[in-house]
Amino acid sequence: MEKITPILEKHYKFTAWMIPKISKFPRDQRFLLADRIENALLDVLELLIQANFSQKKRDILIKVNLKLDLLRFLMRLSRDLRYVNLACYDFFCQRTTEIGRMAGGWLKFAVL
Q: Which domains, and CATH codes, for the chain?
A: 6-108 (1.20.1440.60)
Closest CA to 68 of 90, 87, 49, 41: 41
What is residue 23's DSSP assignment?
A: T
Task: Render pLDDT for 77-98 as a digit per residue (tens, 0 to 9).
Answer: 999 999 999 999 999 999 999 9
- 112: pLDDT confidence band, cut at 50, 70 and 90? low
Residue 36 reports pLDDT greater than 80: yes
User: How far is C-alpha 19 from the chain's CA centre?
Assistant: 11
Q: What is the Cα gyration radius of the chain? A: 14
- Average the pLDDT over 22-30 and give the result: 91
- Average the pLDDT over 15-30 and give the result: 93
Question: How many CA atoms does the CB half-sphere of 32 hold within 13 Å?
Answer: 8
pLDDT at 85: 95
